Protein backbone atom coordinates (compact mmCIF):
# COMPACT_ATOMS: atom_id res chain seq x y z
CA UNK A 1 0.00 0.00 0.00
CA UNK A 2 1.68 3.20 -1.07
CA UNK A 3 1.27 6.30 1.05
CA UNK A 4 0.06 8.21 -2.01
CA UNK A 5 -2.73 5.74 -2.83
CA UNK A 6 -3.82 5.67 0.84
CA UNK A 7 -4.01 9.45 0.82
CA UNK A 8 -6.00 9.47 -2.44
CA UNK A 9 -8.44 6.95 -1.06
CA UNK A 10 -8.86 8.83 2.21
CA UNK A 11 -9.41 12.10 0.37
CA UNK A 12 -12.04 10.50 -1.84
CA UNK A 13 -14.09 9.13 1.03
CA UNK A 14 -14.06 12.26 3.24
CA UNK A 15 -17.41 13.05 4.78
CA UNK A 16 -19.64 14.26 2.01
CA UNK A 17 -22.40 15.68 4.17
CA UNK A 18 -20.36 18.85 4.59
CA UNK A 19 -21.06 19.38 0.87
CA UNK A 20 -24.75 18.60 0.25
CA UNK A 21 -25.30 16.21 -2.67
CA UNK A 22 -28.29 15.27 -4.71
CA UNK A 23 -29.03 11.60 -5.34
CA UNK A 24 -27.17 11.58 -8.66
CA UNK A 25 -24.04 13.08 -7.08
CA UNK A 26 -24.21 10.70 -4.16
CA UNK A 27 -24.56 7.71 -6.47
CA UNK A 28 -21.54 8.85 -8.46
CA UNK A 29 -19.57 9.34 -5.26
CA UNK A 30 -20.44 5.90 -3.99
CA UNK A 31 -19.46 4.47 -7.38
CA UNK A 32 -16.05 6.02 -6.82
CA UNK A 33 -15.70 4.22 -3.51
CA UNK A 34 -16.75 1.00 -5.22
CA UNK A 35 -14.06 1.50 -7.88
CA UNK A 36 -11.43 2.11 -5.24
CA UNK A 37 -12.51 -0.97 -3.30
CA UNK A 38 -12.10 -3.01 -6.49
CA UNK A 39 -8.79 -1.45 -7.43
CA UNK A 40 -7.27 -1.37 -3.94
CA UNK A 41 -9.09 -4.09 -1.95
CA UNK A 42 -6.31 -4.40 0.59
CA UNK A 43 -6.64 -0.74 1.62
CA UNK A 44 -10.26 -0.44 2.55
CA UNK A 45 -12.42 -2.65 4.77
CA UNK A 46 -15.76 -3.39 3.21
CA UNK A 47 -18.65 -1.58 4.87
CA UNK A 48 -20.23 -3.77 7.51
CA UNK A 49 -20.47 -7.26 6.07
CA UNK A 50 -23.38 -9.06 7.69
CA UNK A 51 -22.63 -12.52 9.00
CA UNK A 52 -25.37 -15.06 9.27
CA UNK A 53 -25.81 -17.65 11.98
CA UNK A 54 -27.62 -18.28 15.25
CA UNK A 55 -27.56 -15.27 17.54
CA UNK A 56 -28.51 -15.05 21.20
CA UNK A 57 -28.85 -11.29 20.71
CA UNK A 58 -30.39 -9.71 17.63
CA UNK A 59 -31.43 -6.17 18.57
CA UNK A 60 -28.86 -4.03 20.33
CA UNK A 61 -29.28 -0.55 21.80
CA UNK A 62 -26.17 1.64 21.70
CA UNK A 63 -26.31 4.65 24.03
CA UNK A 64 -24.23 7.56 22.76
CA UNK A 65 -22.71 8.40 19.36
CA UNK A 66 -19.29 9.57 20.45
CA UNK A 67 -16.04 7.76 19.70
CA UNK A 68 -17.10 4.67 21.66
CA UNK A 69 -20.65 4.65 20.35
CA UNK A 70 -19.60 4.86 16.71
CA UNK A 71 -17.24 1.90 16.86
CA UNK A 72 -19.74 -0.07 18.98
CA UNK A 73 -22.42 0.53 16.37
CA UNK A 74 -20.08 -0.47 13.56
CA UNK A 75 -19.08 -3.66 15.38
CA UNK A 76 -22.74 -4.60 15.87
CA UNK A 77 -23.36 -4.22 12.14
CA UNK A 78 -20.22 -6.22 11.34
CA UNK A 79 -21.70 -9.11 13.32
CA UNK A 80 -25.07 -8.90 11.56
CA UNK A 81 -26.97 -7.45 14.51
CA UNK A 82 -29.81 -4.96 14.29
CA UNK A 83 -28.42 -1.96 16.14
CA UNK A 84 -29.98 1.36 17.06
CA UNK A 85 -27.85 4.15 18.48
CA UNK A 86 -29.50 6.80 20.64
CA UNK A 87 -27.76 10.18 20.73
CA UNK A 88 -29.25 13.00 22.79
CA UNK A 89 -27.57 15.77 20.79
CA UNK A 90 -27.87 16.74 17.13
CA UNK A 91 -24.63 15.18 15.86
CA UNK A 92 -21.97 12.54 16.35
CA UNK A 93 -18.61 13.06 18.08
CA UNK A 94 -19.44 13.19 21.77
CA UNK A 95 -16.56 14.72 23.72
CA UNK A 96 -14.73 15.78 20.56
CA UNK A 97 -17.47 17.93 19.02
CA UNK A 98 -16.91 21.53 20.04
CA UNK A 99 -19.95 23.67 20.79
CA UNK A 100 -19.95 27.30 21.88
CA UNK A 101 -22.22 26.53 24.82
CA UNK A 102 -22.07 23.43 27.06
CA UNK A 103 -24.97 21.01 26.65
CA UNK A 104 -26.53 19.19 29.59
CA UNK A 105 -25.59 15.54 29.72
CA UNK A 106 -22.83 15.86 27.12
CA UNK A 107 -19.09 16.28 27.49
CA UNK A 108 -17.77 19.73 26.67
CA UNK A 109 -14.39 20.89 25.35
CA UNK A 110 -12.72 24.23 24.64
CA UNK A 111 -12.09 25.43 21.10
CA UNK A 112 -8.33 24.82 21.08
CA UNK A 113 -8.27 21.21 22.33
CA UNK A 114 -5.68 18.97 20.67
CA UNK A 115 -5.61 15.27 21.47
CA UNK A 116 -2.66 13.87 23.46
CA UNK A 117 -2.39 10.60 21.54
CA UNK A 118 -0.93 10.41 18.03
CA UNK A 119 -2.98 9.39 15.03
CA UNK A 120 -1.40 5.98 14.40
CA UNK A 121 -2.00 4.99 18.03
CA UNK A 122 -5.58 6.30 18.26
CA UNK A 123 -7.23 5.24 14.99
CA UNK A 124 -9.84 2.54 14.65
CA UNK A 125 -8.08 -0.70 13.78
CA UNK A 126 -9.48 -1.19 10.27
CA UNK A 127 -9.67 2.46 9.22
CA UNK A 128 -6.28 4.24 9.20
CA UNK A 129 -6.26 8.00 9.57
CA UNK A 130 -5.17 9.67 6.30
CA UNK A 131 -1.46 10.30 6.03
CA UNK A 132 -1.92 14.04 5.46
CA UNK A 133 -3.70 14.45 8.81
CA UNK A 134 -1.41 15.81 11.58
CA UNK A 135 0.03 13.36 14.07
CA UNK A 136 -1.65 15.16 16.97
CA UNK A 137 -5.06 16.29 15.79
CA UNK A 138 -7.13 19.32 16.69
CA UNK A 139 -10.68 18.43 17.71
CA UNK A 140 -11.98 19.59 14.31
CA UNK A 141 -9.71 17.05 12.56
CA UNK A 142 -10.85 14.30 14.91
CA UNK A 143 -14.42 15.16 13.98
CA UNK A 144 -13.50 14.98 10.30
CA UNK A 145 -12.10 11.50 10.85
CA UNK A 146 -15.22 10.40 12.74
CA UNK A 147 -17.40 11.69 9.90
CA UNK A 148 -15.34 9.77 7.36
CA UNK A 149 -15.70 6.63 9.50
CA UNK A 150 -19.47 7.05 9.91
CA UNK A 151 -19.89 7.77 6.21
CA UNK A 152 -17.84 4.85 4.97
CA UNK A 153 -19.50 2.28 7.22
CA UNK A 154 -22.96 3.80 6.68
CA UNK A 155 -23.57 4.36 10.38
CA UNK A 156 -25.67 7.54 10.33
CA UNK A 157 -28.88 5.83 9.27
CA UNK A 158 -28.74 3.72 12.43
CA UNK A 159 -28.47 6.74 14.78
CA UNK A 160 -31.49 8.48 16.26
CA UNK A 161 -30.38 12.02 17.03
CA UNK A 162 -31.97 14.32 19.63
CA UNK A 163 -33.16 11.21 21.46
CA UNK A 164 -32.46 10.84 25.17
CA UNK A 165 -32.46 7.52 26.99
CA UNK A 166 -34.68 7.95 30.06
CA UNK A 167 -34.61 4.43 31.47
CA UNK A 168 -33.09 1.03 30.78
CA UNK A 169 -34.76 -1.73 32.80
CA UNK A 170 -34.90 -5.49 32.81
CA UNK A 171 -37.87 -7.18 31.19
CA UNK A 172 -39.96 -9.34 33.55
CA UNK A 173 -38.53 -12.48 31.91
CA UNK A 174 -34.93 -11.19 31.98
CA UNK A 175 -33.60 -14.30 33.74
CA UNK A 176 -34.46 -16.36 30.67
CA UNK A 177 -34.45 -13.82 27.83
CA UNK A 178 -31.81 -11.30 28.94
CA UNK A 179 -33.90 -8.58 27.33
CA UNK A 180 -34.12 -4.90 28.25
CA UNK A 181 -36.83 -2.31 27.90
CA UNK A 182 -35.38 1.01 26.77
CA UNK A 183 -37.48 4.13 27.28
CA UNK A 184 -36.44 7.08 25.13
CA UNK A 185 -37.67 10.63 24.64
CA UNK A 186 -37.52 12.76 21.52
CA UNK A 187 -39.25 16.08 20.92
CA UNK A 188 -41.29 15.62 24.08
CA UNK A 189 -42.59 12.19 23.12
CA UNK A 190 -41.61 9.02 24.95
CA UNK A 191 -41.24 5.64 23.32
CA UNK A 192 -40.43 2.20 24.73
CA UNK A 193 -38.72 -0.59 22.82
CA UNK A 194 -37.35 -4.02 23.68
CA UNK A 195 -33.70 -4.88 23.00
CA UNK A 196 -31.76 -8.11 23.39
CA UNK A 197 -28.64 -6.29 24.61
CA UNK A 198 -27.44 -2.80 25.56
CA UNK A 199 -24.06 -1.10 25.07
CA UNK A 200 -23.55 1.96 27.28
CA UNK A 201 -21.19 4.35 25.47
CA UNK A 202 -21.98 7.62 27.23
CA UNK A 203 -18.46 8.20 28.57
CA UNK A 204 -17.22 9.59 31.88
CA UNK A 205 -16.67 13.30 31.20
CA UNK A 206 -20.22 14.58 31.50
CA UNK A 207 -20.70 15.53 35.17
CA UNK A 208 -18.38 18.26 36.43
CA UNK A 209 -16.75 17.46 39.78
CA UNK A 210 -16.83 20.77 41.63
CA UNK A 211 -15.73 20.34 45.30
CA UNK A 212 -16.72 23.84 46.42
CA UNK A 213 -16.80 22.78 50.06
CA UNK A 214 -13.05 22.20 49.96
CA UNK A 215 -12.38 25.92 49.49
CA UNK A 216 -13.36 28.06 52.52
CA UNK A 217 -14.44 31.60 51.75
CA UNK A 218 -15.57 30.86 48.22
CA UNK A 219 -19.10 31.97 49.08
CA UNK A 220 -17.90 35.54 49.71
CA UNK A 221 -15.65 35.76 46.65
CA UNK A 222 -16.78 38.77 44.59
CA UNK A 223 -15.31 37.61 41.30
CA UNK A 224 -16.63 34.75 39.20
CA UNK A 225 -15.74 31.07 39.08
CA UNK A 226 -16.41 28.27 36.64
CA UNK A 227 -15.54 24.65 35.97
CA UNK A 228 -13.19 23.86 33.10
CA UNK A 229 -16.18 22.23 31.37
CA UNK A 230 -17.63 25.72 30.88
CA UNK A 231 -14.41 27.24 29.52
CA UNK A 232 -14.47 27.81 25.76
CA UNK A 233 -11.90 30.42 24.75
CA UNK A 234 -9.60 33.04 26.38
CA UNK A 235 -11.21 36.25 25.10
CA UNK A 236 -13.57 36.87 28.07
CA UNK A 237 -10.54 36.78 30.40
CA UNK A 238 -8.60 39.56 28.73
CA UNK A 239 -6.77 41.67 31.33
CA UNK A 240 -7.99 39.50 34.23
CA UNK A 241 -6.02 37.87 37.01
CA UNK A 242 -6.97 34.20 36.90
CA UNK A 243 -6.23 31.28 39.18
CA UNK A 244 -6.60 27.79 37.69
CA UNK A 245 -7.15 25.12 40.33
CA UNK A 246 -5.98 21.68 39.22
CA UNK A 247 -3.02 20.44 37.23
CA UNK A 248 -4.49 17.76 35.02
CA UNK A 249 -4.47 18.06 31.26
CA UNK A 250 -7.36 20.53 31.12
CA UNK A 251 -5.91 22.68 33.92
CA UNK A 252 -2.52 23.06 32.25
CA UNK A 253 -3.98 23.59 28.78
CA UNK A 254 -6.29 26.33 30.03
CA UNK A 255 -3.58 28.03 32.10
CA UNK A 256 -1.24 28.10 29.10
CA UNK A 257 -3.91 29.44 26.77
CA UNK A 258 -5.11 32.08 29.23
CA UNK A 259 -1.54 33.28 29.76
CA UNK A 260 -1.61 34.85 26.29
CA UNK A 261 -4.54 37.15 27.11
CA UNK A 262 -4.99 37.36 30.89
CA UNK A 263 -3.05 39.88 32.94
CA UNK A 264 -1.66 37.08 35.10
CA UNK A 265 -2.34 33.37 35.51
CA UNK A 266 -1.71 31.37 38.68
CA UNK A 267 -1.71 27.56 38.45
CA UNK A 268 -2.58 25.99 41.79
CA UNK A 269 -1.78 22.36 42.57
CA UNK A 270 -2.02 20.20 45.67
CA UNK A 271 0.69 17.72 44.80
CA UNK A 272 2.44 18.89 41.61
CA UNK A 273 2.81 16.87 38.47
CA UNK A 274 5.27 15.36 36.05
CA UNK A 275 4.62 16.99 32.68
CA UNK A 276 5.14 14.82 29.63
CA UNK A 277 5.40 16.25 26.14
CA UNK A 278 3.92 15.27 22.80
CA UNK A 279 7.18 15.72 20.91
CA UNK A 280 9.71 13.07 21.94
CA UNK A 281 13.14 11.95 20.75
CA UNK A 282 13.93 12.86 17.13
CA UNK A 283 10.68 14.82 16.96
CA UNK A 284 8.54 11.67 16.89
CA UNK A 285 5.23 11.48 18.81
CA UNK A 286 5.82 10.40 22.41
CA UNK A 287 3.45 7.43 22.35
CA UNK A 288 4.80 6.35 18.95
CA UNK A 289 8.31 6.12 20.42
CA UNK A 290 7.49 4.56 23.77
CA UNK A 291 4.30 2.58 23.15
CA UNK A 292 6.09 -0.55 21.95
CA UNK A 293 5.75 -4.18 22.93
CA UNK A 294 9.46 -4.43 23.63
CA UNK A 295 9.47 -1.50 26.03
CA UNK A 296 6.37 -2.95 27.68
CA UNK A 297 8.36 -6.14 28.25
CA UNK A 298 11.19 -4.09 29.73
CA UNK A 299 8.68 -2.37 31.99
CA UNK A 300 7.57 -5.76 33.32
CA UNK A 301 11.14 -6.84 34.03
CA UNK A 302 12.74 -3.67 35.37
CA UNK A 303 11.67 -2.57 38.89
CA UNK A 304 9.19 0.30 38.89
CA UNK A 305 11.56 2.46 40.93
CA UNK A 306 14.15 2.21 38.15
CA UNK A 307 11.54 3.02 35.49
CA UNK A 308 10.36 6.05 37.44
CA UNK A 309 13.95 7.19 37.91
CA UNK A 310 14.64 6.85 34.18
CA UNK A 311 11.49 8.71 33.13
CA UNK A 312 12.05 11.46 35.69
CA UNK A 313 15.63 11.85 34.44
CA UNK A 314 14.34 12.19 30.87
CA UNK A 315 11.68 14.74 31.85
CA UNK A 316 14.04 16.77 34.03
CA UNK A 317 16.53 16.89 31.18
CA UNK A 318 13.97 18.98 29.33
CA UNK A 319 13.27 21.22 32.32
CA UNK A 320 13.92 20.77 36.02
CA UNK A 321 10.54 20.10 37.64
CA UNK A 322 11.83 21.21 41.06
CA UNK A 323 13.13 24.49 39.67
CA UNK A 324 9.78 25.14 37.98
CA UNK A 325 7.72 24.37 41.08
CA UNK A 326 6.12 21.27 39.59
CA UNK A 327 7.90 18.26 41.09
CA UNK A 328 5.47 15.96 42.94
CA UNK A 329 6.25 13.40 45.62
CA UNK A 330 4.92 10.56 43.49
CA UNK A 331 6.64 8.92 40.52
CA UNK A 332 5.80 9.42 36.85
CA UNK A 333 4.02 6.06 36.62
CA UNK A 334 1.98 6.64 39.78
CA UNK A 335 -0.62 8.90 38.19
CA UNK A 336 -2.43 9.50 34.93
CA UNK A 337 -0.08 11.34 32.54
CA UNK A 338 -0.26 15.11 32.15
CA UNK A 339 0.88 16.24 28.71
CA UNK A 340 1.81 19.76 27.60
CA UNK A 341 4.67 21.12 25.50
CA UNK A 342 4.19 24.83 26.28
CA UNK A 343 3.97 25.08 30.07
CA UNK A 344 7.73 25.53 30.79
CA UNK A 345 7.86 28.42 28.30
CA UNK A 346 4.95 30.18 30.00
CA UNK A 347 6.48 29.64 33.46
CA UNK A 348 9.95 30.89 32.51
CA UNK A 349 8.40 33.99 30.94
CA UNK A 350 6.37 34.67 34.10
CA UNK A 351 3.02 34.44 32.32
CA UNK A 352 2.09 31.42 34.47
CA UNK A 353 3.12 31.36 38.12
CA UNK A 354 3.01 28.10 40.05
CA UNK A 355 1.22 28.07 43.40
CA UNK A 356 0.44 25.42 46.02
CA UNK A 357 -3.10 24.47 46.98
CA UNK A 358 -5.58 27.23 47.82
CA UNK A 359 -6.10 27.54 51.56
CA UNK A 360 -9.02 29.95 51.35
CA UNK A 361 -10.60 32.71 49.29
CA UNK A 362 -11.42 36.24 50.39
CA UNK A 363 -13.66 38.75 48.62
CA UNK A 364 -10.94 39.63 46.10
CA UNK A 365 -8.03 37.25 46.56
CA UNK A 366 -6.77 33.72 46.99
CA UNK A 367 -4.61 32.74 49.97
CA UNK A 368 -2.38 29.76 49.30
CA UNK A 369 -1.00 27.15 51.68
CA UNK A 370 2.46 28.74 51.59
CA UNK A 371 0.94 31.91 53.07
CA UNK A 372 1.10 33.99 49.89
CA UNK A 373 -1.90 36.03 48.79
CA UNK A 374 -2.78 37.03 45.25
CA UNK A 375 -5.57 39.26 43.99
CA UNK A 376 -7.72 37.35 41.50
CA UNK A 377 -10.75 38.15 39.37
CA UNK A 378 -11.63 34.67 38.10
CA UNK A 379 -11.28 31.08 39.36
CA UNK A 380 -11.25 28.16 36.93
CA UNK A 381 -11.77 24.81 38.65
CA UNK A 382 -10.10 22.07 36.59
CA UNK A 383 -11.09 19.47 39.15
CA UNK A 384 -12.20 16.64 36.94
CA UNK A 385 -15.43 14.75 36.49
CA UNK A 386 -17.68 12.23 38.17
CA UNK A 387 -19.86 9.74 36.35
CA UNK A 388 -23.20 8.12 36.95
CA UNK A 389 -25.85 6.25 34.99
CA UNK A 390 -29.25 7.28 36.35
CA UNK A 391 -31.07 5.75 33.37
CA UNK A 392 -29.96 2.26 34.39
CA UNK A 393 -32.62 2.04 37.06
CA UNK A 394 -30.38 0.68 39.84
CA UNK A 395 -28.71 -2.02 37.72
CA UNK A 396 -25.27 -0.70 38.64
CA UNK A 397 -24.02 1.34 41.58
CA UNK A 398 -21.36 4.04 41.29
CA UNK A 399 -19.64 5.21 44.50
CA UNK A 400 -16.95 7.91 44.17
CA UNK A 401 -16.32 6.95 40.56
CA UNK A 402 -15.92 3.29 41.45
CA UNK A 403 -18.10 0.77 39.65
CA UNK A 404 -17.63 -3.02 39.91
CA UNK A 405 -17.33 -4.23 36.31
CA UNK A 406 -15.54 -7.30 34.98
CA UNK A 407 -12.73 -6.08 32.72
CA UNK A 408 -14.26 -2.61 33.23
CA UNK A 409 -17.19 -3.73 31.07
CA UNK A 410 -19.61 -6.28 32.49
CA UNK A 411 -21.71 -6.19 35.68
CA UNK A 412 -21.18 -9.48 37.47
CA UNK A 413 -24.60 -10.07 38.99
CA UNK A 414 -26.80 -10.23 35.88
CA UNK A 415 -28.47 -13.52 35.03
CA UNK A 416 -27.61 -12.92 31.39
CA UNK A 417 -24.54 -10.94 30.20
CA UNK A 418 -26.46 -8.60 27.91
CA UNK A 419 -25.29 -5.24 29.29
CA UNK A 420 -21.80 -3.85 28.72
CA UNK A 421 -20.05 -0.51 29.23
CA UNK A 422 -17.79 0.68 26.45
CA UNK A 423 -15.07 3.29 26.97
CA UNK A 424 -15.54 3.56 30.73
CA UNK A 425 -11.78 3.55 31.24
CA UNK A 426 -8.95 6.05 31.48
CA UNK A 427 -5.93 4.62 29.70
CA UNK A 428 -2.24 5.39 29.55
CA UNK A 429 -2.76 5.66 25.80
CA UNK A 430 -5.60 6.13 23.33
CA UNK A 431 -9.17 5.24 24.20
CA UNK A 432 -10.62 4.75 20.69
CA UNK A 433 -8.91 1.42 19.89
CA UNK A 434 -9.74 0.16 23.38
CA UNK A 435 -13.43 1.01 22.95
CA UNK A 436 -13.41 -0.77 19.61
CA UNK A 437 -11.83 -3.95 21.00
CA UNK A 438 -14.22 -3.85 23.97
CA UNK A 439 -17.13 -3.65 21.53
CA UNK A 440 -15.87 -6.55 19.43
CA UNK A 441 -15.64 -8.75 22.52
CA UNK A 442 -18.92 -7.60 24.08
CA UNK A 443 -20.86 -8.42 20.92
CA UNK A 444 -19.36 -11.90 20.77
CA UNK A 445 -20.48 -12.37 24.38
CA UNK A 446 -23.98 -11.12 23.51
CA UNK A 447 -24.15 -13.65 20.67
CA UNK A 448 -23.08 -16.49 22.95
CA UNK A 449 -19.83 -17.06 21.02
CA UNK A 450 -17.69 -16.13 24.04
CA UNK A 451 -18.54 -17.00 27.63
CA UNK A 452 -17.87 -15.02 30.80
CA UNK A 453 -16.43 -16.74 33.91
CA UNK A 454 -18.47 -17.59 36.96
CA UNK A 455 -19.59 -14.64 39.09
CA UNK A 456 -17.14 -15.25 41.95
CA UNK A 457 -14.25 -15.48 39.48
CA UNK A 458 -15.25 -12.18 37.90
CA UNK A 459 -15.54 -10.53 41.30
CA UNK A 460 -12.09 -11.84 42.24
CA UNK A 461 -10.67 -10.30 39.06
CA UNK A 462 -12.32 -6.97 39.88
CA UNK A 463 -10.91 -7.02 43.41
CA UNK A 464 -7.43 -7.89 42.15
CA UNK A 465 -7.49 -4.95 39.70
CA UNK A 466 -8.77 -2.61 42.41
CA UNK A 467 -5.92 -3.56 44.75
CA UNK A 468 -3.35 -3.18 41.96
CA UNK A 469 -4.65 0.31 41.17
CA UNK A 470 -4.62 1.33 44.81
CA UNK A 471 -1.04 0.07 45.16
CA UNK A 472 0.27 1.86 42.09
CA UNK A 473 -1.65 5.12 41.81
CA UNK A 474 -2.08 8.19 43.96
CA UNK A 475 -5.50 8.06 45.61
CA UNK A 476 -7.82 10.11 43.43
CA UNK A 477 -11.25 9.92 41.79
CA UNK A 478 -9.50 9.92 38.41
CA UNK A 479 -7.67 6.66 39.20
CA UNK A 480 -10.64 4.33 39.55
CA UNK A 481 -10.87 3.24 35.90
CA UNK A 482 -7.19 3.43 34.98
CA UNK A 483 -5.65 0.94 32.53
CA UNK A 484 -2.37 0.60 30.65
CA UNK A 485 -2.83 0.44 26.89
CA UNK A 486 -0.87 -2.64 25.80
CA UNK A 487 -1.66 -4.94 28.79
CA UNK A 488 -5.36 -4.11 28.67
CA UNK A 489 -5.62 -4.45 24.89
CA UNK A 490 -3.86 -7.82 25.08
CA UNK A 491 -6.17 -8.89 27.89
CA UNK A 492 -9.21 -8.12 25.75
CA UNK A 493 -7.58 -9.66 22.70
CA UNK A 494 -7.06 -12.93 24.58
CA UNK A 495 -10.76 -13.03 25.42
CA UNK A 496 -11.66 -12.43 21.79
CA UNK A 497 -8.96 -14.64 20.27
CA UNK A 498 -7.19 -11.91 18.30
CA UNK A 499 -3.95 -11.39 20.24
CA UNK A 500 -1.07 -11.50 17.76
CA UNK A 501 1.33 -14.43 18.04
CA UNK A 502 4.75 -12.81 17.78
CA UNK A 503 6.69 -16.07 18.07
CA UNK A 504 4.85 -17.52 15.11
CA UNK A 505 5.28 -14.30 13.14
CA UNK A 506 9.04 -14.26 13.71
CA UNK A 507 9.15 -17.65 11.99
CA UNK A 508 6.71 -16.89 9.16
CA UNK A 509 6.90 -13.12 8.64
CA UNK A 510 10.02 -11.71 10.36
CA UNK A 511 9.68 -8.23 8.82
CA UNK A 512 6.20 -7.81 10.25
CA UNK A 513 7.23 -9.35 13.58
CA UNK A 514 10.14 -6.88 13.96
CA UNK A 515 7.87 -3.91 13.34
CA UNK A 516 5.30 -5.24 15.79
CA UNK A 517 7.85 -5.98 18.51
CA UNK A 518 10.02 -2.87 18.28
CA UNK A 519 7.72 -0.39 16.58
CA UNK A 520 4.60 1.23 18.06
CA UNK A 521 1.84 -1.15 19.15
CA UNK A 522 -0.77 0.24 16.80
CA UNK A 523 -4.40 -0.97 16.72
CA UNK A 524 -3.90 -2.79 13.42
CA UNK A 525 -2.10 -5.55 15.32
CA UNK A 526 -5.47 -6.73 16.62
CA UNK A 527 -6.87 -7.25 13.11
CA UNK A 528 -4.30 -9.74 11.87
CA UNK A 529 -6.10 -12.90 12.98
CA UNK A 530 -9.25 -14.25 14.59
CA UNK A 531 -12.76 -12.82 14.48
CA UNK A 532 -12.92 -9.55 12.56
CA UNK A 533 -9.55 -10.00 10.83
CA UNK A 534 -8.84 -7.33 8.21
CA UNK A 535 -6.85 -8.10 5.07
CA UNK A 536 -5.23 -4.65 5.14
CA UNK A 537 -3.82 -4.96 8.68
CA UNK A 538 -0.34 -6.19 7.70
CA UNK A 539 0.14 -3.44 5.13
CA UNK A 540 -1.15 -0.83 7.58
CA UNK A 541 1.49 -1.89 10.13
CA UNK A 542 4.33 -1.87 7.62
CA UNK A 543 3.39 1.61 6.35
CA UNK A 544 2.58 3.28 9.68
CA UNK A 545 5.95 5.03 9.84
CA UNK A 546 5.40 6.46 6.38
CA UNK A 547 2.04 7.92 7.40
CA UNK A 548 3.57 9.43 10.54
CA UNK A 549 6.38 11.08 8.59
CA UNK A 550 4.14 12.21 5.74
CA UNK A 551 2.13 14.37 8.13
CA UNK A 552 5.32 16.36 8.79
CA UNK A 553 6.78 16.28 5.29
CA UNK A 554 4.24 16.13 2.45
CA UNK A 555 6.95 14.86 0.07
CA UNK A 556 7.93 12.09 2.49
CA UNK A 557 5.79 9.57 0.63
CA UNK A 558 8.67 9.33 -1.83
CA UNK A 559 11.16 8.49 0.91
CA UNK A 560 11.88 4.85 1.81
CA UNK A 561 10.31 3.67 5.04
CA UNK A 562 12.45 3.35 8.15
CA UNK A 563 14.00 -0.14 8.33
CA UNK A 564 13.01 -0.72 11.94
CA UNK A 565 12.52 0.85 15.35
CA UNK A 566 15.51 -1.03 16.76
CA UNK A 567 17.96 1.94 17.00
CA UNK A 568 15.59 3.87 19.25
CA UNK A 569 15.00 0.81 21.43
CA UNK A 570 18.75 0.27 21.81
CA UNK A 571 19.17 3.90 22.87
CA UNK A 572 16.52 3.48 25.55
CA UNK A 573 18.04 0.21 26.74
CA UNK A 574 21.49 1.78 26.95
CA UNK A 575 20.08 4.65 29.02
CA UNK A 576 18.31 2.26 31.39
CA UNK A 577 21.45 0.15 31.66
CA UNK A 578 23.59 3.17 32.56
CA UNK A 579 21.11 4.26 35.22
CA UNK A 580 20.96 0.77 36.75
CA UNK A 581 24.77 0.54 36.75
CA UNK A 582 25.02 3.93 38.48
CA UNK A 583 22.49 2.91 41.15
CA UNK A 584 24.31 -0.38 41.76
CA UNK A 585 27.64 1.44 42.05
CA UNK A 586 26.17 3.95 44.51
CA UNK A 587 24.60 1.20 46.63
CA UNK A 588 27.86 -0.78 46.75
CA UNK A 589 29.85 2.34 47.64
CA UNK A 590 27.55 3.32 50.51
Q: Which of 194-208, 429-443, 541-555 has the highest mean pLDDT?
A: 429-443
What are the pLDDT digits (tens) for 404-427?
Answer: 999 999 999 999 999 999 999 888
pLDDT over 60 (residue 113): yes
pLDDT at 206: 75
Enter the DSSP assignment of 160: E
- In whole angstroms, give the CA distance from residue 133 to residue 6: 12
CA torsion 289→293→297→303, rounded to 10°?
30
What are the pLDDT digits (tens) for 285-301?
Answer: 999 999 999 999 998 88
- pLDDT range class, residue 482, cuts 50, 70, 90: confident
pLDDT over 90 (residue 198): yes
Count of other CB atoms within 10 angstroms of residue 205: 20
Say if residues 357 and 243 touch (Cβ distance below 8 Å): no
- Give mean pLDDT, residues 537-542: 96
Sign of the alpha-carbon torsion through 117, 119, 120, 122 = positive
pLDDT at 57: 61
- pLDDT range class, residue 35, cuts 50, 70, 90: very low
What are the pLDDT digits (tens) for 545-590?
Answer: 999 999 898 764 445 445 445 555 555 555 556 555 555 544 555 5
- pLDDT range class, residue 203, cuts 50, 70, 90: confident
- Give mean pLDDT, residues 457-480: 83
Enter the DSSP assignment of 554: G
pLDDT at 528: 97
Q: Who contacts 282 (Cβ-Cβ below 8 Å, separation ≥6)?
A: 289, 568
pLDDT at 398: 78
Helix H or strand E segment including 375? strand 373-375
What are the pLDDT digits (tens) for 163-191?
Answer: 999 999 999 999 999 999 999 999 999 99
- Please return the burial class of 531, using the count of CB atoms within 10 Å of its CB with bins 0-12, 13-18 and 19+: middle
Global pTM reads 0.85
What are the pLDDT digits (tens) for 330-372?
Answer: 888 888 889 999 999 999 999 999 999 999 999 999 999 999 9
pLDDT over 60 (residue 541): yes
In percent, the amount of the chain with pLDDT more than 90 equals: 66
Helix H or strand E segment including 426? strand 426-428
Q: Who contacts 566 (Cβ-Cβ below 8 Å, separation ≥6)?
A: 514, 518
pLDDT over 70 (residue 143): yes
- In whole angstroms, give the CA distance from residue 496 to residue 436: 12
For 387, the 3-state DSSP assignment is: coil
- Give mean pLDDT, residues 469-496: 84
pLDDT over 50 (residue 128): yes
- Give mean pLDDT, residues 299-320: 91
- pLDDT range class, residue 21, cuts 50, 70, 90: very low
Summary count for the chain: helices (H), strands (E): 19, 22
pLDDT at 400: 73
pLDDT at 240: 97
Q: At what angle do helices 3-12 and 23-39 cross, to 10 degrees?
A: 160
What are the pLDDT digits (tens) for 361-380?
Answer: 999 999 999 999 999 999 99
**φ, ψ for residue 287 (rounded to 5)?**
-70, -25
pLDDT at 43: 46
Say if residues 12 and 5 touch (Cβ distance below 8 Å): no
Out of 86-90, 264-268, 280-284, which region has the weakest mean confidence (pLDDT)?
280-284
Amino acid sequence: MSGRSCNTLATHRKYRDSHPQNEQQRAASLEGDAWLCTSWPQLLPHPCHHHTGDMAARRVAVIGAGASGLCALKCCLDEGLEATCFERSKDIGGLWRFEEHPEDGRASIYRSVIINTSKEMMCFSDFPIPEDFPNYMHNSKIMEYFRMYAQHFDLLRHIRFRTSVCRVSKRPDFASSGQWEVLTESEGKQEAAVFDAVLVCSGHHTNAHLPLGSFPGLEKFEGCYLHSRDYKNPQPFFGKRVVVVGIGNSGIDIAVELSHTAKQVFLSTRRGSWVLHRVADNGYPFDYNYGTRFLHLVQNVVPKSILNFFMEWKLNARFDHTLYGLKPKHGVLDTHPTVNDDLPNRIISGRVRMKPNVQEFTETSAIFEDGTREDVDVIVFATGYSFSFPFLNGCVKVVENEIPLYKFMFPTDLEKPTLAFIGLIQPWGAIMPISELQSRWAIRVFKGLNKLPLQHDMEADIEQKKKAMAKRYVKSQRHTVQVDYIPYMDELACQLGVKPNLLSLFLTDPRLAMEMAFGPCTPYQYRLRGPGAWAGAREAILTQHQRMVSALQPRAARRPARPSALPHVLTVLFSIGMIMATLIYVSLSA
